[in-house]
Structure 1
Amino acid sequence: MCTSTASVPKLDLGALGESCACSYLTGCLGWQVIDRNVRTRYGELDIVALRHDGAYVFVEVRARSSHRFGSPLETVTQQKLARLVQQMDRYFAAHHVCQEDRQVALDVVGLTFAGDVLQSLEHVSVLS
């Protein structure tokens, strides 16, 4: 469930968004979440998941409290995507996974909340 009884401070909105995204990925899509909040030299990977076909999916989560400044997905810039690709490479190196042996995808999940209640969830694949 993606709600709580208290108001959500800004920093906690990100954590709530990641929890909701994990619930969506595992419950609705049947993916396996294998890592969360992985720090690399280039930043942080929000979610690393495995699809049914064994593909690694790196998921960037964007949570917002309104659409006043656009959709959460619109906040992902080309610069951010380039850093995510660098982070993905670092992840594979650190975990001794041969990238050539696996399918890899980069997805973005955007969530909008009204207080602590999930209003919308958008999921797009950026790189597959």
Structure 2
Amino acid sequence: MEHQPDTGSDRSRQIVLAVALLRLAVGAVSSVQPTALPRALGIDSATAGRAAFITRMFASREIALALGAGWTVVGGGSASRPWLLASALADGADAVTLVAAARAGRVAKLPSYLAAAGAAAAVGAALWAVARPRR
């Protein structure tokens, strides 16, 4: 049996799937523990508790985007482009919002900048996967 070399398309699918799994994990944790993310960003526990419904809305979005992108990759990837673009848009908005909140002093700077960097990396991965030629 001949071993096929890993193609750019395979790498693209692996990256999309990895980002989808990470997004699914963040969504699941945020849904079950809605104060964990705001607390990690330096928001006091009372405010985090009052805003738990917002975190759960974020969690639902994360889970939906993860399942959409992951499903298309596992199912052959033929319709992944819209999911990847939606993910890039959401992650880009998250990055901008996190940086703005950190600069305004509303959240802790270091965790917010790290989360923004992760969101920006996810944008790059999604756009790279969209730009890859289909085989």
TM over 0.5: no
Structure with greater Cα Rg: 2
The one of the two structures with greater contact order (alpha-carbon pairs below 8 A, sep at least 6) is 2
The structure with more helix, counted as a fraction of residues? 2
* TM-score of the two chains, using structure 2 as the length reference: 0.28
